[in-house]
Structure 1
Amino acid sequence: MSSRIRALAILELLAQFPSGLALRDIAARLAIPVSATDRLLAGLADGDFVTIDQGSGLIRLRVRLAALGLAYLGASGITDLVQPILDDLAKRTGELVRLAVVEGDRLTWVAKSQSTRSGLFYTPDTGTEVYLPATANGQAWLACLPNSEVQRLVEKQGIKTSGVGPNAPNDIVSLRSQVEIARAQNFATVTEAYEIGTSAIATAIRRRGQGTPVGTVSVAGPTIRMTASRMAEISPWLLSSAEELGAASASSPLFAFP
């Protein structure tokens, strides 16, 4: 792995830990020698991408990196084109709406909207990359792909045996059966698969309603509210929003990496 790739991996990891991580934690999580990690962090600190607390020794991202991300998302059409669609769906459903885009072999979270109608909020603990087997977004994307591609992507990302919900697929066979259901109904649903006590419904976003998916959109919330009947009620709104997002995708560079 080149030093550039390692540096990017460090930034991606720190994005998941706003309170910071110690040098040895970063090295262990990324399987990079401590000495090499130290050198990379020094370079990132010189570039004002990370800060190293002199008291605790914890390394955190600096605001500069977040500002770059926000500037990119603003220029990509999130604010003007995409966010109003997400906000409208969140208002209709009363739940958390999330958008992910396809980037090569990855599905990446890029935007969300949280309704303020309900008192019980669902705030997922996720990084930037969507975990494909146990999320509605992941299954919705996989449902649009050939079985051979599903196998390849899942093998590349790996199937977790811990840290997920009780209904998460634990092998490719069980995942394929869920993907087939998603293919048949044009959307995927999961209940206590990614996290205990939460459920979600998601569908793929396609340019002009056809072709290769460029992203996914989901509605998620506590299972006590997101019952099977409630997700069935939400599905037409979700599919309609996906069509709007598909139309908007033609004007946004955010969806330029299928």
Structure 2
Amino acid sequence: MTIADTLAIPRSATHRLLADLKDEGYIRQEFDGGAYRLTAKIVALGFSHLASAGVTTRIQPLLDRLADRTGELVTLAVIHEEKLIRVAKAQGARRGLLYNPDEGAEVYLAATSNGHAWLSCLEEDEVLQLVARQGVKRDGYGPNAPRTMRALLSFVETARELGYAKIFETYEPGTSAIAVAAFSERSKRPIGTISVAGPVIRMTSAAMDYILPALRETAAAIAEAGAGLPIFAEPVH
């Protein structure tokens, strides 16, 4: 069973766990022996966690404000166990082309502005270790996505020199994005990243330059508002 193998626990224990989750309404099966699917109840559990962690009341309004100012998609990701995890977003586009990708929770570091923004804050050895776990030769990304470590390091070095990351058609064809890191006020280490993304026809380099001050302002505000929140737990070194 895939679940048992992924979690590295006995299949008997996996069956008992799945049965309990099914009884509680967190998962369902279309028929006996069929695939397990998450229900809306577990989604609600996630929203409850974000609310209790202060994201809904303290962080989301800041994302909403930036989305309204830019008219584009704003995404917040946080660093968790040497991974970059998307935790919240806000859509600012109200008409015309609407960019709202179906993304997983974990950020793909090699091809995203959030990924480049975080990597630009790290030493090269750490960059190589983190990216090696995910790889840089995945299919399904934009035509400008780096396919080698050397190409990726060029992106990262540019972001390091600028103090922010810009990408054009690396994550998806026809899209571009800009991102900055948010830093802990106490340790000055990165605790997450925030990006603004949209269609390349609107998100030009000049448009990104115009957005940058508001993006940096929001990152600083998030770091201040998020001080002490559990989702911004700082990495241990």
1:157-176 CA-to-partner distances (Å, cap 9, x unmatched) read 11233111100010110111
Aligned equivalents of 1:128, 1:58: Cα separation in 2? 21
Shift of 1:232: 1.1
Over 3 Å counting, the alpha-carbon distance change for 1:77 and 1:101 in structure 2 is same
> TM-score if structure 1 supplies the norm length?
0.82
- 1:6 and 2:7 equivalent? yes
Equivalent residue for 2:43, pick from 30, 54, 66: 66
SS of the residue 1:121 aligns to: coil
Aligned equivalents of 1:115, 1:163: Cα separation in 2? 26
Assess if the C-alpha contact under 8 Å between 1:99 and 1:109 holds in 2. Answer: yes
- 1:89 and 2:66 equivalent? yes
1:118-144 CA-to-partner distances (Å, cap 9, x unmatched) read 321101121110000000000000000
1:197 corresponding residue in structure 2: 174
Shift of 1:66: 1.1
2:89 corresponding residue in structure 1: 112
Over 3 Å counting, the alpha-carbon distance change for 1:251 and 1:38 in structure 2 is closer
SS of the residue 2:160 aligns to: helix
SS of the residue 1:117 aligns to: coil
Aligned equivalents of 2:202, 2:143: Cα separation in 1? 18
Give unmatched runs, 5+ long, in structure 2.
Answer: none
User: Which stretch shows the higher mean deviation, 224-233 or 207-216?
Assistant: 207-216
- 1:178 and 2:155 equivalent? yes
Aligned equivalents of 1:45, 1:158: Cα separation in 2? 35
Aligned equivalents of 2:214, 2:5: Cα separation in 1? 42
Task: Letter of the 1:62 partner, please give it.
Answer: T
1:8-57 CA-to-partner distances (Å, cap 9, x unmatched) read 9xxxxxxxxxxxxxxxxxxxxxxxx9x99877654542453210112994
- 1:246 and 2:219 equivalent? no
Task: Letter of the 1:255 partner, please give it.
Answer: F
Over 3 Å counting, the alpha-carbon distance change for 1:6 and 1:56 in structure 2 is closer
Give unmatched runs, 5+ long, in structure 1.
Answer: 9-32
Assess if the C-alpha contact under 8 Å between 1:85 and 1:241 holds in 2. Answer: yes
- 1:144 and 2:145 equivalent? no
Assess if the C-alpha contact under 8 Å between 1:205 and 1:214 holds in 2. Answer: yes
User: Which stretch shows the higher mean deviation, 147-156 or 61-70?
Assistant: 61-70
Task: Letter of the 2:167 partner, please give it.
Answer: V
Shift of 1:208: 2.0
2:99 corresponding residue in structure 1: 122
Structure 1's consecutive aligned runs of 4 or more residues displaced over 6 angstroms after TM superposition are: 35-40
> TM-score if structure 2 supplies the norm length?
0.89
Assess if the C-alpha contact under 8 Å between 2:3 and 2:14 holds in 1. Answer: no
SS of the residue 2:51 aligns to: helix
Overall identity of the aligned pairs, in %: 48
1:49-102 CA-to-partner distances (Å, cap 9, x unmatched) read 210112994532022211221111001111221011101110110000000000
Over 3 Å counting, the alpha-carbon distance change for 1:246 and 1:95 in structure 2 is same
Aligned equivalents of 2:110, 2:93: Cα separation in 1? 29
1:40-59 alignment runs, 5 A limit: 41-42=18-19, 44-54=21-31, 57-59=34-36
